[in-house]
């Protein structure tokens, strides 16, 4: 802890001064302006090429159109420039530990014992972890629009045309064509009625289409493989999550658990919330309280209200103030401190002596 305090006292102010104002000065050269009309024609041509007559039928449907209300900001003229992510990030998961959540978990574990037993035996994933993923992702589909409120086809088509470099070049178009391929035997009304997240994730586990194509499975050894797995239903959703984590090298160590959950969602707070929640359901003490309760607006000291704080905790060094909390994650990635084992360390800018707080 002394090393942590010394590191923060020496380097915290200089990093805090630099980090909030850091800018990427690199420029990207581009040869042609972004043209959504050209992009739309290219994507339609690719769909027809991949799916043949079925692609022709889909692209001629009036519902296959760009959603003009999807983005509040016009697209960047440079397709290589960073794109705005329409899906907001979550910074704390306290709601997961509510009384309502725990009661729903109890019922879910009781009502789906057969599928959970099968998933544990075949894939080696604890039922409490599967339940935690379903809780955070869609709250078991118990609430309106918990699995998303946007038609997946329209959402992905709009992203492919208006945000060609969303996530990475070609990602949206790949997701769109994969989704259409998966459900090419479905009725068009059913296809356009499937709703998902702002980025096209769908079903109880919120799989992207390519993840569904690779990792969604039937929850039985004698399932009908001619039909795609139904991840809107509990059984296939349970086994698909278990298969996903198993393929991501879930093992017997906590490090392997973190690595597998990181493959599912690149968010340390998400990982810690699921592991803590699973521990609580299994009657074990939570191991990650410093992650679970971390929130810049909640972890302030009365004596330094309105000041900036420096947080040093595994695995990163973060500078947060009331006005830059949405930039903390970027700062975390830029100034990571490998394998530190400290609790929160507060060094207020008001000049008060460093203090530790055990949550």
- Answer with the residue of higher pLDDT: 250 or 327: 250
Among 70, 44, 41, 75, smallest CA distance to 58 is for 44
The one-character DSSP state at 158 is: H
Which pLDDT belongs to residue 95?
A: 80
The one-character DSSP state at 358 is: -
pLDDT exceeds 80 at position 219: yes
pLDDT exceeds 90 at position 119: yes
CA 263 to CA 189: how far, in whole Å?
33
Contact, 227 vs 217, CB < 8 A? no
Contact, 123 vs 239, CB < 8 A? yes
Which pLDDT belongs to residue 29?
A: 40
Domains of the chain: 2-21+296-357 (no CATH), 94-146+234-291 (1.10.530.10)
Burial of residue 184 (CB within 10 Å: 0-12, 13-18, 19+) is middle
CA 190 to CA 205: how far, in whole Å?
20
Which pLDDT belongs to residue 257?
A: 94
Taking the whole predicted model, whether its pTM rises above 0.85 is answered as: no
115 three-state secondary structure: helix
The end-to-end CA distance of the chain, in Å, is 15
- Answer with the residue of higher pLDDT: 165 or 242: 242
Among the ranges given (65-69, 181-185, 235-239, 346-350), the one the predictor scored with the smallest mean pLDDT: 346-350
Among 114, 110, 91, 89, smallest CA distance to 220 is for 114
Q: C-alpha angle 119/123/124, rounded to 5°?
A: 95
CA 218 to CA 123: how far, in whole Å?
13
Distance (Å) of CA 330 to CA 137, 165, 272: 23, 19, 19
Cβ contacts of 268 within 8 Å, gap of 6 or more = 262, 291, 315
Which pLDDT belongs to residue 289?
A: 54
pLDDT exceeds 90 at position 154: yes
CA 318 to CA 16: how far, in whole Å?
9
pLDDT exceeds 60 at position 27: no
At 166-198, the pLDDT tens digits run 888 899 999 999 999 999 988 999 999 999 998
DSSP string, 1-70: -HHHHHHHHHHHHHHHHHGGG---------SS---HHHHHHHHHHHHHHHHTHHHHHHHHSTT-S--TTS
Tokens representing 186 are 């479905």
Cβ contacts of 34 within 8 Å, gap of 6 or more = 75, 76, 77, 78, 79, 164
- Measured in whole angstroms, how far is the alpha carbon of residue 355 from the centre of its chain? 33
Percent of the chain with pLDDT over 70: 64
Tokens representing 56 are 């022709």
Q: Residue 99, CB half-sphere, CA atoms under 13 Å: how many?
A: 0
CA 343 to CA 312: how far, in whole Å?
7
Name the one residue in this structure whose structure tokens are 């009657």: 283
CA 69 to CA 61: how far, in whole Å?
19
Model confidence at 5, in pLDDT bands (50, 70, 90)? low
Average model confidence (pLDDT) across the chain? 74
CA 171 to CA 131: how far, in whole Å?
29
* Cis-peptide, bond into residue 272, ω within 30° of zero: no
């Amino acid at each position: 802890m002394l090393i942590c305090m010394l590191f923060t006292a020496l380097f915290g102010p200089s990093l805090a001064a630099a980090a909030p104002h850091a800018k990427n000065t690199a420029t990207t050269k581009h040869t042609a302006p972004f043209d959504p009309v050209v992009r739309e024609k290219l994507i339609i041509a690719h769909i027809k090429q991949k799916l043949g007559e079925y692609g022709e039928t889909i692209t001629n449907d009036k519902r296959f159109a760009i959603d003009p209300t999807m983005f509040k900001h016009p697209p960047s003229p440079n397709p290589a420039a960073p794109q705005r992510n329409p899906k907001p990030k979550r910074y704390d998961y306290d709601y997961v530990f509510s009384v309502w959540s725990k009661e729903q978990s109890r019922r879910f574990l009781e009502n789906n014992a057969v599928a959970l037993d099968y998933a544990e035996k075949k894939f080696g994933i604890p039922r409490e972890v599967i339940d935690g993923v379903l809780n955070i992702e869609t709250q078991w589909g118990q609430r309106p629009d918990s699995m998303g409120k946007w038609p997946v086809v329209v959402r992905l088509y709009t992203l492919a045309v208006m945000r060609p470099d969303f996530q990475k070049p070609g990602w949206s178009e790949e997701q769109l064509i994969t989704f259409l391929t998966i459900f090419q035997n479905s009725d068009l009304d059913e296809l356009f009625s499937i709703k998902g997240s702002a980025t096209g994730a769908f079903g109880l586990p919120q799989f992207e289409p390519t993840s569904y194509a690779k990792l969604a499975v039937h929850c039985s050894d004698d399932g009908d493989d001619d039909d795609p797995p139904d991840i809107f239903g509990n059984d296939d959703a349970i086994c698909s999550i278990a298969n996903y984590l198993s393929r991501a090298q879930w093992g017997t160590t906590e490090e392997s658990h973190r690595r597998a959950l990181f493959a599912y969602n690149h968010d340390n707070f998400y990982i810690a919330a699921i592991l803590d929640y699973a521990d609580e359901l299994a009657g074990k003490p939570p191991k990650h309280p410093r992650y679970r309760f971390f929130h810049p607006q909640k972890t302030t000291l009365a004596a330094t209200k309105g000041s900036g704080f420096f947080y040093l905790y595994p695995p990163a060094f973060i500078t947060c103030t009331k006005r830059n909390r949405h930039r903390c994650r970027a700062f975390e990635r830029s100034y990571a401190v490998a394998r530190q084992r400290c609790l929160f360390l507060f060094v207020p800018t008001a000049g008060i002596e460093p203090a530790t707080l055990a949550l």
